Amino acid sequence: MYLYNVALVQEFLDQTRKRISNGVEITFTKKASDELQDLMLDFDINVSDVEAAIENLSPENYFRGIDPSGGKDFNVCAFCTTVGKDKLEIYLKYGVQIAGLQILLFSNHVPDFPMIYPFKN
């Protein structure tokens, strides 16, 4: 089951990278836009920093997500990674549209609690 779950997360990340390389832009929800403004003001983090962090995610950054039932409009995952020149740790939660191309960022902020990485060695 462990390897299946890692493969599921890797497929999610591969789909994200494929869409970005094909020109699909990441859409920020209102909440994510507000959080990005805080990151910009407090830590000099910008949109391209967040986008680069998303493109460089691996299963080791995985925190939780993906409902394998397929009954949703989006597959959604949460990750924790570093961003920007100061390598600030941030929580990222985004979704990949199942029957479309959209990548929707729901959250990008400094974690509120210590993160657990189920696939990190």
Instruction: Give the up-direction half-sphere exposure of residue 91: CA atoms within 13 A in the CB hemisphere.
Output: 18
Range of the domain at 94: 2-109
Residues near 12 by beta carbon (within 8 Å), at least 6 away in sequence: 66, 75, 77, 96
82/104 Cα distance (integer angstroms): 19
Model confidence at 5, in pLDDT bands (50, 70, 90)? confident
pTM for the full predicted model: 0.89
Q: Is the residue at 119 inside a domain?
A: no
Q: Evaluate whether residue 63 is within a structural domain.
A: yes
pLDDT tens-digit readout, 57-90:
999 999 998 766 566 789 999 999 999 989 999 9
Looking up residue 49, the CATH number of its domain turns out to be 3.30.2310.40
38, part of any domain = yes
Structural domain contains residue 93: yes
Please list, in sequence order, all residues whose beta carbon lies within 8 angstroms of the beta carbon of residue 8, skipping any fewer than 6 positions away.
66, 68
Closest CA to 47 of 65, 25, 15, 14: 25
